[in-house]
Amino acid sequence: MGYRVGVVGVGPVGDRIIRVLRERGFPVEGELVVMATRERTEVLADEKYLVREVTEDLFEDLDVVFFAGREGARGASVQWGSVATDAGAWAIDNGSDFRMEPGYALIVPEVNMDVVGAGNRHICSPNCSTIQMVVALAPLHRAAGIRRIVVSTYQSVSGWGLGAMDEFEAQVRQYAAGEPVTHDPNIFDKPIIFDCLPRIDRFLDDGYTKEEMKMVHETRKILGEPELAITATAVRVPVMIGHSEAINVELERPLSRAEALEILRDPAQSPGVTVIDDPDSLQYPTQADCLLDEHRDAVLVGRVREDPTVEHGLNLWCVSDNLRKGAATNTVQIAEGLIARGLL
């Protein structure tokens, strides 16, 4: 049996959704209905697609729609999410507009697919940094109870969309050609080449950024722990694709490095996690590693260490492809989970 599938938005996330659907053999019936703000032909995931201007009638026959458009009032899922669900489709949304709304499930399939029911026809996929962190931490939380999380992120430019990737590439070309490096202040405050920028999304009144608070609120919702202590610092780094995170956790019960590694290496306890951690042979994961075929949908974990400065503390380093597990793959896995549960 196949499903009629729509994709709204053809930036790097929309491109990866099309690629991941194909790679995983998702049962698509007929042609993918690919939509964006205006009609054109475009090469997506190495194949030519007709991109249609999004209109109400295009949703009429669809079973599932993946949203990968811009956020906000003029964004794709605010304008078209309810059109899709009213037409009878499931909406699976990469954007942040509805993630914290009551009644909207916020899903990382390895962690909380079980909360989805027939009433959740608009399902949200979390922020890329949140997804990889909860895949790595949920097994440790189940084993020893997480009391507090301190996380610092090292996030690639692709997390800010196609415009940011083009900006970074242009700066690299300018530098290589010996030309002055230009920058568009509407994308990043300063040139991203050779620098790290500790502002992702807008500043809030208390000095945190919206990205940092997404990690706080979304993690609590996914783990079902509304009071969990979490503090985050989100940093943009000059890497094209792939996010890293330095994570410090305080646990309710002691967990040694060896015990944590045993849990994280066990696919039954830690689905989606791949451990790369061997100081003796200089093995640890980096952003380049998450682009390798064998790791392309994994959350890579390494540098696991006991932290003796707090009670039952652990440090770890966590890496994943923000466009795949941090966005596209997570949404396709949600659709697969709906099929497995007989909901789609």
Residues involved in catalysis: 128, 243
* 312 close to 253: Cβ distance less than 8 angstroms: yes
Contact 207, 173 (CB under 8 A): no
Cβ at position 179, least distance to ligand NAP in Å: 25
Residue 332 touching ligand NAP (CB under 6 A): no
In the list 22, 24, 70, 265, the residue contacting ligand NAP (rule: CB under 6 A) is 70
Q: Dihedral, CA atoms, 297, 173, 71, 30, nearest 10 degrees? A: -60
Closer to ligand NAP at the Cβ: 201 or 259? 201
With CB under 6 A as the contact rule, the residue among 34, 45, 68, 344 that binds ligand NAP is: 68
DSSP state of 193: T
Q: Which of 21, 63, 94, 295 binds ligand NAP (CB under 6 A)?
A: 94
Binding of ligand NAP by 216 (CB under 6 A): no
Structure tokens at 330: 């997570």
Instruction: Give min distance, CB of 191 to ligand NAP, in A.
Output: 20
Determine the Cα–Cα distance for residues 291 and 241; give it in Å rounded to an integer.
8
Identify the residue among 6, 81, 95, 272 touching ligand NAP (CB under 6 A): 95
**Runs of H (alpha helix) within 122-209:** 128-144, 162-176
Q: What residues contact residue 291 under an 8 Å CB cut-off, 6+ apart?
A: 241, 242, 321
The least distance separating ligand NAP from the CB of residue 220, rounded to whole angstroms, comes to 18
The closest of 335, 338, 295 to 318, measured between CA atoms, is: 295
107 binds ligand NAP, rule: CB under 6 A: no
**Tokens standing for residue 76:** 């794709």
Residue 313 lies near ligand NAP (rule: CB under 6 A) = no
Question: From the list 6, 11, 81, 337, which residue makes contact with ligand NAP (rule: CB under 6 A)?
Answer: 11
Q: Does 201 bind ligand NAP (CB under 6 A)?
A: no
243-282: which residues touch ligand NAP (CB under 6 A)? Answer: none
d(CA 244, CA 235): 10
Applying the rule CB under 6 A, the residues between 119 and 178 that interact with ligand NAP are 128, 158-159, 161-162
Size of the chain in residues: 344
Helix ranges, the chain (H): 12-23, 76-86, 109-112, 128-144, 162-176, 210-223, 257-265, 329-340
DSSP letter string, 257-314? HHHHHHHHH-TTTSTTEEE--BGGGTB---TTGGGSGGGTT-EEEEEEEEETTSTTEE
CA distance 197 to 318: 19
* Interface with ligand NAP, residue 37, by CB under 6 A: yes
109 binds ligand NAP (CB under 6 A): no
Which of the ranges 72-80, 186-194, 227-235, 288-296 carries the binding residues for ligand NAP, by CB under 6 A?
72-80
Give min distance, CB of 68 to ligand NAP, in A.
4
Do strands 33-36 and 299-307 pair parallel, antiparallel, or not at all (unpaired)?
unpaired
Q: Of 33-41, 139-147, 196-204, 312-320, which segment contacts ligand NAP by CB under 6 A?
A: 33-41
100 binds ligand NAP (CB under 6 A): no
Residue placing its CB nearer to ligand NAP in the complex, 104 or 313: 104
With binding defined as CB under 6 A, does residue 45 bind ligand NAP?
Answer: no
- Total interface residues for ligand NAP by CB under 6 A: 31
Closest residue to ligand NAP using C-beta atoms: 11
Answer for the pair 183, 197: CB distance below 8 angstroms, yes or no: no
55 forms part of the interface with ligand NAP (CB under 6 A): no
71 or 336, CB closer to ligand NAP? 71
Binding site for ligand NAP (CB under 6 A): 8-14, 35-38, 54, 68-71, 74-76, 79, 94-95, 128, 158-159, 161-162, 322-323, 326-327
